[in-house]
Amino acid sequence: DSGVTQTPKHLITATGQRVTLRCSPRSGDLSVYWYQQSLDQGLQFLIQYYNGEERAKGNILERFSAQQFPDLHSELNLSSLELGDSALYFCASSVGQEVIDEQYFGPGTRLTVT
Amino acid sequence: KNEVEQSPQNLTAQEGEFITINCSYSVGISALHWLQQHPGGGIVSLFMLSSGKKKHGRLIATINIQEKHSSLHITASHPRDSAVYICAVLNSGGSNYKLTFGKGTLLTVKP
């Protein structure tokens, strides 16, 4: 158990809908990272937040957005969902803001768009 | 050509064997990350390294910046090491950040 929690574990929704994925980092960690893993694209880094502020941005689509709240939990919002958004979404956390810090991964949320 | 290439794609070993997984990249990097993904999907960060060598238990990771190559070694392999091993290279500077993942190496260790 990494100490990082993600909810929900599974999510099934229809195209065009909007969903919110939630992540709670390990106690004491200030950074949260979001990743997407799909069958065709593999793992992709989406975005990092550090202590409430966006720290780094990767391959995040404009239809996706994220935020980190004062209690350090983070939410990833996915809107206008497409079939291709079906994937595993992982969040990870680390103590510092540098990506070189060791990251602890959550169990993931499996999103299925039908 | 992908920026990050891993070899082999699939590897089957007998318990106790010494295993090497390779990662080559074509761009300048700040650091390289090795990850392990278990059959159930969970991901564990193994190493983040920018030079030299790191060791943790039976796992050793090395990187040669000049040759743009990293290796992950597993000594005395065990069936519980069966997993997908993924390398990722990081280019970062300020708020610019690019993390590119390899496609992974599927390792199966047979008892």
* pLDDT tens by residue, B19-49: 999 999 988 788 899 999 998 888 999 999 9
pLDDT of amino acid B30: 81
Chain A positions in Cβ-Cβ contact with residue B98 (cut-off 8 Å): 58
- Of B43, B98, B102, which is closest to A90 when you measure between CB atoms? B43
Token pair of A39, please?
């069958």
**Nearest-CA residue of chain A relative to B98?**
A58
Query: Is residue B99 within 8 angstroms of chain A, CB to CB?
Result: yes
**Closest alpha carbon to A64 in A26, A24, A35:** A35
Token pair of A59, please?
């391959």
Reduced 3-state DSSP string for chain A: CCCCEEECCEEEECCCCCEEEEEECCCCCCEEEEEEEECCCEEEEEEEEECCEEEEECCCCCCEEEEECCCCCEEEEECCCCHHHCEEEEEEEECCCCCCCCCEECCCEEEEEC
Q: Decide if B90 and A99 are in contact by the 8 Å CB cutoff.
A: yes
Q: What is the 8-class DSSP label of residue B63?
A: E
The stretch A65-75 carries a mean pLDDT of 97
- Of A2, A43, A48, which is closest to B86 when you measure between CB atoms? A43
Chain A positions in Cβ-Cβ contact with residue B48 (cut-off 8 Å): 99-102
Distance of CA B54 to the CA centre of its chain: 12
